[in-house]
Chains A and B, each alone.
Chain A
Amino acid sequence: MKSQESNPSGEKRIGLLNHGFLIVWAIISLFPLVWMISTSLKENNEIYTNPGLLPRNVLNFKNYADAWMFGEFNVYFMNSVLYTIVIITAVVFFSSLAAYGLSRLKMYGKSFVYYMFLASLMIPIPGVFVAIYIVVYHLGLGNSRMGYILPMIALSLPISIFILKSFFDEMSKEIQEAAIIDGANNFYIYLNIMLPILRPAIATIIILNMLSVWNEFSLALILFTDNAFMPIQKGLSVFVGQYSTRYELLMAATTISIIPIILIYMLMQKQFIQGLTAGAIKG
């Protein structure tokens, strides 16, 4: 063992092995995406006749223009932008209020409310979508934007409240006490003192929910019958035919759909990874 530690060629071999392994997996991670983009830049027949990675015309963006206008894909994209903004705004507002209340204020039924949210994080209910469908339709919200937004908010609340509450719990009570002595009320403290300090946690919540709303498919699949309301993941299916699929269009559409996510990921890697790790671990 000792000889291995002090043996420089052994160190080097392990280093090379590590590098090789990491590079191979990096290629495996990226190559399918490169292939997706390559296909999206090829012409209609070219995807079957040109097996190379390089399209004949690298600047052939015709598929992107076609995909954008084909079957209302632009509508689906804008719908997703709308859903993402509305749902995130509501979740940030409701979950930060609730987390503040649960962490800092005296109220009736506090632990009941807290454990209700916590339990829903611990217990997966896979088929609950079926019943959400029934509830939404019986409320007269079937096939409507509201009928999609409200359940999506409900599904996002527990993890958001949980993460924010743990942040509130860690903050010192002195700021709050000082503010109370100065005559500030609780809501003023929440809005003007707590929220600004909590900005990193809010960023985590926004990223976590942005990803889950942008990538959401199954709820949209069952709730909407009207194409005009459908979000982007559901919209991708317009390119998939029962017998034949226009893959050059489909790959252009999937590329369009991942651009916003990839851009934000590249700009905010740290918050992204923190947010999603927090989301996965759930305490």
Chain B
Amino acid sequence: MSNIAPASKRLDKEKMFNLVYVVPAVLIFMVFSIFPIYRTIQYSFTNSNGVTFNHNYIGFDNYVQALTDKIWWQGVGNGLFFAIAALIFMNSIALLLSLSVNTGIRGNKAYRVIFYIPPILSGIVVGYLWKWIYDPDGLINLTLNAVGLKQWTHAWLGETGTALTSVSIASMWQGVGGSFILFLAGLQGIPAQLYEAAKIDGAGRLQQLIYITIPSLRRVYTLVNILTILGAMQIFNHVYSMTNGGPGYATEVPALRIYREAFRNGDFGMASTFSVLFALMLFVVSFIQLKYSQNDDN
């Protein structure tokens, strides 16, 4: 008995002392990540202007205003447009590219390196580069003029009809490489024995694709699609650098609205409300992924 007490005390002391290892990380994270989340929720019920400490609690007023705000919903709609376009076009291109590269084709390593260059650039650089390409005197109009299609030229980012699609194409140009790399990682994880067994059973290329590749890739496919939706909905840098939401509200997105509400209109209460609403929407998407990956683990 007399031996146990000091031992457990020593363990207590050790368990206490070892906290030293996590304290720096936890402290910084608490102050600059957890506390701001708490503050966001708190401020969403106030009329805070962010500058002074004074603010009044105004209940759900901000939420009522937010949910009936047409421009906010237009921003959400544009975010969904980006997401759906990326799911259909960006991820299909990425999937086909990964299938091609995964055949072990000559030069596959070089392709992999090249396809991953756009994703390592910043959204701002991509935005400014494409702003120049879309310029009325830029590359696209130049090319159209050169091949005699003058009637097809547009002020791509300046016209309501073309701005949203143009921004979406620029962001998808950057995004293909990211999805491609994840698909490729998924394809490389499929055991080679499966294909060999199928070949012995006389399965052709198409049958291998349908019965082995596609089912084996389902988990990665879900993951990539979820990441694509989350990324597209949260787009900010591309829009900020190319159109800043314009013309009018043609390329308005949620993140831009939150930014403008706080730092242009000085309404931190409203900005926080939009943040909370937006977080809830994204959480629903993340939750689906969480459910999926849990199902797979069991």
Contact = CB atoms under 8 A, between A and B. Distances in A.
Nearest to A5: B204
Interface residues of B, number: 102
Given A126-B258, A126-B279, A127-B272, A29 B118 contact: yes
B165 interface: no
Contacts of A180: none
A154 B113 contact: no
A98 B25 CA distance: 7
A184 interface: no
A100 B268 CA distance: 39
A123 B283 contact: yes
Nearest to B293: A283
B21 A97 contact: yes
A171 B40 CA distance: 40
Contacts of B33: 120, 128, 151, 154-155, 157-158
A135 B182 CA distance: 36
A212 to B, nearest CB: 10
A236 B128 contact: yes
B271 A130 contact: yes
A98 B115 contact: no
B245 interface: no
Contact of A4 (B100, B177, B205): B205
Interface string B202-215: 11111100000000
A128 B36 contact: yes
A136 to B, nearest CB: 8
Size bin of chain A's contact surface = 35 or more
Interface in A31-79: 32-33, 35-36, 39, 48, 51
Given A28-B173, A134-B268, A22 B122 contact: no
A48 B137 contact: yes
A186 interface: yes
Given A107-B15, A126-B258, A134-B39, A247 B135 contact: yes
Contacts, number: 285
Contact of B113 (A25, A125, A250, A269): A269
B32 A151 contact: yes
A22 B111 contact: yes
Interface string B105-137: 111000111111111111111001111110101
A29 B115 contact: yes
A130 B40 contact: yes
Contacts of A133: 50, 262-263
B130 A32 contact: yes
Contacts of B237: 217-218, 233
A223 B182 CA distance: 33
B40 A128 contact: yes
B152 interface: no
B26 A127 contact: no
Contacts of B121: 215, 258, 261
A173 to B, nearest CB: 16
Contacts of A25: 93, 97, 111, 115, 176
Contacts of A14: 205
A260 B232 CA distance: 27
B185 A277 contact: yes
B259 interface: yes
A27 B178 CA distance: 17
A178 interface: no
B208 to A, nearest CB: 10
A273 interface: yes
Contact of B204 (A1, A137, A150, A261): A1
Given A97-B21, A107-B18, A113-B26, A22 B117 contact: no
B11 interface: yes
Contact of B125 (A102, A132, A157, A236): A236
12 contacts: A22-B97, A33-B129, A101-B19, A107-B18, A107-B21, A124-B234, A125-B40, A127-B258, A127-B271, A161-B25, A240-B128, A262-B117
Given A1-B205, A127-B275, A127-B279, 20 more contacts: A5-B205, A18-B103, A97-B22, A107-B18, A113-B22, A123-B279, A128-B40, A130-B50, A135-B36, A137-B50, A154-B28, A158-B29, A190-B21, A214-B122, A215-B122, A221-B240, A233-B122, A240-B241, A257-B122, A276-B120
Interface of A: 1-2, 4-5, 14-15, 18-19, 21-22, 25-26, 28-30, 32-33, 35-36, 39, 48, 51, 93-95, 97-98, 100-102, 105-109, 113, 116-117, 120, 122-139, 150-151, 153-155, 157-158, 161, 186, 190, 211, 214-218, 221-222, 233, 236-237, 240, 245, 247, 250-251, 254, 257-258, 261-262, 265-266, 269, 272-273, 276-277, 280-281
